[in-house]
């Protein structure tokens, strides 16, 4: 039963252990949803603290490395966290930045603060499940998990791996009505002393980062919640109209550039949903965009949560695994090493431009990403090798990489996940093929190539 002051939908929340809550502050361990507002995990922590007559602190654990992330991604994330620290201070919520392995650092903080409860977020990735399991083992406090990332909580949307967007869309549609909820304006909390935690020494944190600086920060997209909401406003102004027809054209405006903000949780998908729903644009453009933001994005969490092989050929549907196996011995027209692909050094100028766009900007247009990944399949010795290469490049250079959307997008492209069988051909078997000529029928290749080369 929800009491009046509770705004968090109970079906967003699940217990991760049986330990009884104790006296003492509530720690919200922030990781996936790096924002101080429009955040159901933070809201749940505030409600829990209020009920217990205590207060909330927020802790972020800066891991020494994360799925191949380089300086580019850590910089974008840390700039966003600086804004989180400030916004939390205005709400009288202390912010702790812990460097190291969360499995060690969080239990230490729980002991240091004599915390009674910990709140964490839903995240389908293996590494996050491992961190959580480690903390549950090491800490004897009540631990709750809140799905603050999906509009319809992943575990609520479906209790199994969905076969296609069609089956998932139906289930999501039935549940969505119950989760179109506005965030309560949380003015924060009275109780805690904001100066409980020292302000973070960001220079020291950044100077001690041991991530690969060969992948530099990008300049064209500014990090943080404030910039993310400006990017959204710009998209509503001039990118949403025509999205339905233009989203397959990398030369057009039909791209929100929100994925890095959504990946790091600097912007809430629910806020994007509400703004898009209110926009004065043709219905078909809203529908096309929400199909991506809701159905495709939340389908990715479904795939990664229920399929533990989300980044391996073992995660492919049986038909795709069989057909790729049957064609594993087919002659490849070209075979490139990972470093040739990494430097965009192939015979295909369109593919090279796509790789260059990713190297330079940390982003690649959605339509081109499909072509990009499918060509890696065509030019790699085996599908397993192709998948490994695509994941490596995507997670090293994309700002929005290391995300369920990426593993699912690559598995769709190379392994037919959420897709159907197509006309059989060499190397691909019945996995959907994409050709240079096919792209040329959709958009002006020369225009895309020269634009990227002049970036
Ligand atoms: P928009 O077209 O403006 O879409 C808005 C939002 O909807 C996106 O930010 C994203 O959250 C969601 N979305 C859009 N398309 C998809 C999709 N196909 N699947 C899931 N969600 C989608 N997305 C990532 O966030 N990280 C990745 O690493 C990533 N890697 C991909 C790799 C391949 C091979 C493919 C085919 C797709 C990949 N995608 C990835 C999905 C999609 O291409 C990007 O989300 C999109 O291009 C991001 O740019 P945008 O925000 O301007 O997109
Ligand atoms: N989450 C953390 O809790 N600590 C980190 O140090 C951290 C680094 C990081 C770097 C790049 C990146 O793309 C994500 C990173 N994340 C980190 C995780 C992220 O916030 C999300 O939880 C997952 O990547 C998405 O599921």
Distance in angstroms (rounded) separating the CA atoms of residues 121 and 94? 18
Architecture category of domain 313-453 in CATH: Orthogonal Bundle (1.10)
Distance in angstroms (rounded) separating the CA atoms of residues 357 and 372? 11
Instruction: For 20-53, write each residue's pLDDT tens digit.
Output: 878 899 999 999 999 999 999 999 999 999 999 9
Q: What tokens does 423 get?
A: 């006309």
Instruction: For 95-152, write each residue's pLDDT tens digit.
Output: 999 999 999 999 999 999 999 999 999 999 999 999 999 999 988 899 999 999 999 9
Confidence of residue 195 (pLDDT cuts 50, 70, 90): low
Task: State residue 445 phi and psi, 5-degree precision.
Answer: -60, -45
Using a pLDDT cut of 70, give the percent of the chain over it. Answer: 98
Which atom from ligand 2 is nearest to the alpha carbon of 401? Answer: 13
Inter-residue contact 379 to 335 (CB < 8 Å) = yes
Which atom from ligand 2 is nearest to the alpha carbon of 69? Answer: 11
Q: Tell me the three state secondary structure of residue 134.
A: helix
66 Cβ below 6 A of ligand 2: yes
Which atom from ligand 1 is nearest to the alpha carbon of 398? Answer: 28
What's the gap in Å between 79 CA and the centre of ligand 1?
22
Strand 142-146, strand 117-121: pairing: parallel
- Which class would CATH give 1-149? alpha beta
Confidence of residue 2 (pLDDT cuts 50, 70, 90): very low
| Residue spans per domain, the chain | 1-149, 151-182+224-306, 313-453
Atom 20 (ligand 2) nearest CA: 32
Assigned fold of 151-182+224-306:
1.25.40
Tracing tokens 């690559």 back to the chain, one arrives at 410
- For residue 149, give the DSSP letter: S
* Segment 252-275 mean pLDDT: 96
Which ligand has the nearest atom to the CA of 400?
Answer: 1
Inter-residue contact 143 to 16 (CB < 8 Å) = yes
* Among 405, 411, 415, 418, residue to substitute to test ligand 1 (most atoms within 8 Å of Cβ): 405
Q: What is the pTM of this model?
A: 0.97
Distance in angstroms (rounded) separating the CA atoms of residues 97 and 299? 32
């Amino acid at each position: 039963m929800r009491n009046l002051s509770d705004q968090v939908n109970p079906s967003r929340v699940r217990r991760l252990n049986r330990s009884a809550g104790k006296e003492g502050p509530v720690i919200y361990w922030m990781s996936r949803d790096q924002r101080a507002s429009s955040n159901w995990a933070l809201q749940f922590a505030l409600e829990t603290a209020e009920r217990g007559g205590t207060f909330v602190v927020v802790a972020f654990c800066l891991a020494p490395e994360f799925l191949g992330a380089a300086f580019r991604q850590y910089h974008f994330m840390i700039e966003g966290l600086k804004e989180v620290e400030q916004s939390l201070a205005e709400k009288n919520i202390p912010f702790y930045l812990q460097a190291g392995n969360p499995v060690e650092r969080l239990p230490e903080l729980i002991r240091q603060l004599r915390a009674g409860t910990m709140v964490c977020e839903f995240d389908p990735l293996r590494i996050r499940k491992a961190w959580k399991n480690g903390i549950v083992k090491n800490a004897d406090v009540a631990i709750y998990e809140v799905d603050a990332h999906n509009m319809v909580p992943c575990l609520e949307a479906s209790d199994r791996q969905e076969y296609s967007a069609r089956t998932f869309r139906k289930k999501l549609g039935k549940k969505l009505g119950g989760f179109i909820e506005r965030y309560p304006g949380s003015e924060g909390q009275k109780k805690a002393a904001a100066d409980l935690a020292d302000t973070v020494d960001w220079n020291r944190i950044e100077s001690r980062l041991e991530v690969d600086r060969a992948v530099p920060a990008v300049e064209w997209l500014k990090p943080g919640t404030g910039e993310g909401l400006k990017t959204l406003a710009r998209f509503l102004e001039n990118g949403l109209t025509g999205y339905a027809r233009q989203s397959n054209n990398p030369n057009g405006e039909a791209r929100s550039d929100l994925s890095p903000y959504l990946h790091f949780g600097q912007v809430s998908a629910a806020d994007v949903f509400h703004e898009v729903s209110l926009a004065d644009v043709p219905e078909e453009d809203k529908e096309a965009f929400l199909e991506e933001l809701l159905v495709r994005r939340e389908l990715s969490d479904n795939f990664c949560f229920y399929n533990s092989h989300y980044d391996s050929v073992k995660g492919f549907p049986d038909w795709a695994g069989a057909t790729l196996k049957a064609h594993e011995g087919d002659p490849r027209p070209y075979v490139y090493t990972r470093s040739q692909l990494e430097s965009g050094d192939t015979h295909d100028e369109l593919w090279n431009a796509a790789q260059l766009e990713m190297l330079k900007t940390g982003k690649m247009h959605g339509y081109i990403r499909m072509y990009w990944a499918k060509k890696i399949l065509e030019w790699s010795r085996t599908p397993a090798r192709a998948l490994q290469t695509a994941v490596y490049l995507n997670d090293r250079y994309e700002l929005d990489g290391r995300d369920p959307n990426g593993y699912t997008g690559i598995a769709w492209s190379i392994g037919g996940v959420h897709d159907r069988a197509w006309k059989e051909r060499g190397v691909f078997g019945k996995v959907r093929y994409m050709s240079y000529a096919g792209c040329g029928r959709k958009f002006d290749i020369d225009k895309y190539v020269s634009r990227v080369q002049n970036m």
